[in-house]
Chains A and B, each alone.
Chain A
Amino acid sequence: MEPHEDKNKGDLSRRKFFQTAGITACALVSGGASILGFDFLRPRVLFELPTKFTLTRPDAIEVGSVITDEPHHVYVARSSHGFRALSSVCTHLGCITRYSPDEGIIACPCHGSKFALDGEVIAGPAPRPLPCLQLDLSPSGLIVVDTSIEVPQETVFKL
């Protein structure tokens, strides 16, 4: 029965081959499909303001002055030491604060919190200082703010 056995063996190995190939392909399909599925769930682009954006040229901000970027809720202040970017969202209940150039402080209109230009709380119910944000310079020489990266309060960016 050797030939029979042989043939059977051949049949078996072919079946084995198809089995292995089929199952492997199946596994690849399901694995790939789930990866693609998750990839599909993650948006490629978002319809929101980018967290990293360019503002003006550094020399457009005079020493001692503050510019406000309303859409991104960011202040960029320039002191004699350098530049500093602050979020303008109050750490108390999320109101949008305002910079008052006369007093040189940032004030929240909702509950009267006041912040210094380095973000520290001067008065009012705010629990934390205003977050300090990452600053950079774009290749074309414009200020780049990245709101997704917070930096320590004392950080000052120099040109």
Chain B
Amino acid sequence: MRNDGGGLDRIWFWFAAMSFVFLVVLAISPIKDYFREYRKYQIDYRDQLLERAGTSRELRDANREGVRIRQIWNPDYPNRVDRCTSCHLGVENPGMADASPPLRTHPMTPHTPEQFASFGCVTCHRGQGRATTMMDAHGLASDWATPMLPLRYTEASCGTCHMDEEVPEANLLSRGRTLMAELGCYACHEVDGHEAWESDAPDLDGLSRKTSPEWLRTWIADPQSVRPTTKMPYIQLGQSEIDSLVAFLWTRPAGEDDFLQDEENPAGDPDRGETLFRESRCISCHTVDGRGNGSAAELSGIASKVNRRWLIEYLENPHALQPETKMPRYYFTRQDLLDLSQYLMDELWDPEAPPPVEQAFRPPQKMVEGGMRTFRKYGCSGCHQISGLTDRSRIGPELTGIGRKPVDQLDFGRRDDLPRTLHDWIGAKVSSPRSFRDGLKMPQFILEGEDLTAVITALLSNTGEVIPEEYRVERVIANYDPPGRFGELVDRYRCLSCHEVEGVGGDISTAPLTVEGSRVQESWLKNYLLRPSTIRPILTDRMIPLRMPEEDAAFLANFMQNVYVDDDIPARLFSEEPDPANVRRGSHLFYERYGCQACHMIDGRGGYFGPLLDEAGVRLKPGWVYWWVLGSQRWRDDVRCPDYGVPDRDALDLAAFISSLGRTP
């Protein structure tokens, strides 16, 4: 009996013990569930909502907030579920702007708060949307291939859908993409969508007629020390490589030794040259000691770089020496050329440049061949054209998809100091490319501060991802070729170096020409082409006097008058002279209602930011003024003339007033 009882006891004891163990094991799951990371935030969020609730409705909504996984699921992205909102609870609630993360409101951006449901979080911030703990979701703890982007690079994500160079409301990204094109990244690296990139570096044929071997040597050794604003990077060449490269360049084609002798060009008058230099508004494109527009080369030091005979030839017809140059062909007389070149040679020399050695430079053939190999090795032909080297293959690795490369596929080389992240790797690659290992060829660019961040952002934006069609904003590559004789003149005067027509051309001028015919009057335009007058006194980069023959001006003005028109802009606004009462009312509106004189000057009164309106009646068409007043951003979206929401009647009267200016009745 006792023994039996003892045995049963033991069995019951073990039964109880095991049941208890089971209970404990079973409890693990709900306990783990209870201590979920997001639970803490969700309870805190509800508490904060209750605290902030001002209306009974807000109170009701707050009480409805339970603890659960929240997610954004967008069927357009098959495998993406963003559960970030399980912790980041306040992103869509503007009342949480002063809360601390993760409950804080998401700042207003072009896509939020309207498009949270279709964009989700990972689209812009990356990371692991499915995860529900911070370390996993932010992609920090796991081997997640795309960890969260640091906030300062988030604009990179705009660039996965927006393929355009200029992405609206993404300054940093746009800056980075522009810099990549300007610095010539695409010369060495293939990137999808940038196959058509063209360098604006000069052709290197005939250098022996242009400069001296000494100058060339200093330049190649470190271009930025000679001219800090140059886009050419520091290639970090050895002395023998520099020597051989100079030898090679000097023989394309074979050198002429008489560059120092210049008997055929007598001395000019430097004072008249200076006047010409100012009149011709060279600083609309060039800079002198940093002053000027800066889209063309810095001219200080030019006398130490080129010889006078070359300069005269170039000023006479730039297109013969540099077929791709943006510089227009002025109509200079021979005396103009002598005087202008005399001024440039006398004034703009570089005291630090090496003096040319008065001795012919005849490099041995072996050196020339070595120079050719160096030229090829460093991919110089990616930017510079030179006869005899037609292959312009890119020497760098392809960069498509670099913005999403997993960290374990990156070669950190010697850089043990770098954190193992993609953006740090890209940053170091861009700012000190040769520091990774020996034998690398990428040159040193000067990139600092925000520019560096911008380029990193632009590179991170290149993910090579396949984005659903409806989300993509394709890169628009404008294509416009002016026809016939007009095209020839546009090419000769290089109008498109400064002006934009149908999306093609430069941005030096603030006036695109696409609707020029609807904008200005033909007689004024012809006179302006012959003798440009000042329209906007504030600008340094003003229209240049091209000294064109009258027939060219007449033809250009007539062509634009007939072809560059927009049917939306009324060609004839008033069938007869507007009533003086309307003109008076327009004047009152101009000064008293809309305060236009804050920017526009009439008779020396008013601001000088906007165009002078003294001759507006002769210059502008009334229909244009009317159309402009009703919404100038239709012309260029960055026009600074504000949209006042002018009623139609006011617009008519303003047009009547402005069209009366400068006209003798």
The reply to whether A and B meet directly (CB within 8 Å) is: yes
Task: Give the interface of A toward B (CB within 8 A).
Answer: 8, 11-12, 14-15, 18-19, 21-26, 28-29, 32-33, 36, 44-45, 47-50, 53-54, 56-57, 71, 138-142
Chain B residues with Cβ under 8 A from A56's Cβ? 114
Chain A residues with Cβ under 8 A from B92's Cβ? 54, 138-140
A11-B9, A26-B15, A32-B27 given; name 5 further pairs at CB < 8 Å. A15-B5, A21-B20, A33-B26, A44-B68, A140-B113
The residue in chain B whose Cβ has the minimal distance to the Cβ of A20 is B16
Interface string of B125-161 (1 = CB under 8 A from A): 0000000000000000000000000000000000000
> Do A18 and B9 touch across chains, with their CB atoms under 8 A apart?
yes
Chain B residues with Cβ under 8 A from A23's Cβ? 19
The residue in chain A whose Cβ has the minimal distance to the Cβ of B18 is A22
> Do A22 and B93 touch across chains, with their CB atoms under 8 A apart?
no
> Do A18 and B113 touch across chains, with their CB atoms under 8 A apart?
no
> Do A19 and B12 touch across chains, with their CB atoms under 8 A apart?
yes
Instruction: Give the contacts of B78-104 with A (CB-CB under 8 A).
Output: 81, 83, 92-95
**Chain B: interface size category:** 35 or more
> Do B75 and A139 touch across chains, with their CB atoms under 8 A apart?
no
Interface residue? B73 (CB, 8 A): yes
> Do B116 and A22 touch across chains, with their CB atoms under 8 A apart?
no
Nearest CB of chain A from residue B189's CB, rounded to whole Å: 39
Chain B residues with Cβ under 8 A from A26's Cβ? 15, 19, 22
Given the known interface contacts A44-B68, A50-B73, the answer about A22 and B26 at a Cβ–Cβ threshold of 8 Å is no
CA distance A47 to B8 in the complex (A): 53
CA distance A127 to B526 in the complex (A): 73
Given the known interface contacts A8-B5, A45-B71, A138-B92, the answer about A18 and B26 at a Cβ–Cβ threshold of 8 Å is no
Chain B residues with Cβ under 8 A from A140's Cβ? 92-94, 113
Chain B residues with Cβ under 8 A from A28's Cβ? 23
The residue in chain B whose Cβ has the minimal distance to the Cβ of A33 is B26
Instruction: Give the contacts of B533-553 with A (CB-CB under 8 A).
Output: none
Chain A residues with Cβ under 8 A from B94's Cβ? 139-141
Interface residue? B471 (CB, 8 A): no
> Do B73 and A47 touch across chains, with their CB atoms under 8 A apart?
yes
> Do A14 and B9 touch across chains, with their CB atoms under 8 A apart?
yes
Chain A residues with Cβ under 8 A from B18's Cβ? 22
> Do A57 and B114 touch across chains, with their CB atoms under 8 A apart?
yes
> Do A22 and B15 touch across chains, with their CB atoms under 8 A apart?
yes
CA distance A12 to B12 in the complex (A): 11
CA distance A36 to B2 in the complex (A): 42
Nearest CB of chain A from residue B539's CB, rounded to whole Å: 39
In the A-B complex, the 4 residue pairs with the smallest Cβ-Cβ separation, listed nearest first, are: A25-B19, A22-B16, A18-B12, A22-B15
Nearest CB of chain A from residue B49's CB, rounded to whole Å: 9
> Do A29 and B81 touch across chains, with their CB atoms under 8 A apart?
no
Chain B residues with Cβ under 8 A from A32's Cβ? 23, 26-27, 30
CA distance A24 to B69 in the complex (A): 33
Interface residue? B409 (CB, 8 A): no
Nearest CB of chain B from residue A141's CB, rounded to whole Å: 8
Given the known interface contacts A47-B81, A57-B114, A139-B94, the answer about A29 and B23 at a Cβ–Cβ threshold of 8 Å is yes
The residue in chain A whose Cβ has the minimal distance to the Cβ of B9 is A15
CA distance A26 to B23 in the complex (A): 8
Nearest CB of chain A from residue B304's CB, rounded to whole Å: 63
Chain A residues with Cβ under 8 A from B261's Cβ? none
Task: Point out the residue from B8, B17, B71, B117 that lies within 8 Å of A54, measured CB to CB.
Answer: B117
Interface residue? B29 (CB, 8 A): yes
Chain B residues with Cβ under 8 A from A49's Cβ? 73, 75
The residue in chain B whose Cβ has the minimal distance to the Cβ of A24 is B19
> Do B13 and A18 touch across chains, with their CB atoms under 8 A apart?
yes
Chain B residues with Cβ under 8 A from A71's Cβ? 75
Instruction: Give the contacts of B519-575 with A (CB-CB under 8 A).
Output: none
Nearest CB of chain A from residue B255's CB, rounded to whole Å: 70
CA distance A83 to B69 in the complex (A): 31
Residue of A33, A57, A139, A142 most packed against chain B (CB within 10 A): A139
CA distance A141 to B6 in the complex (A): 74
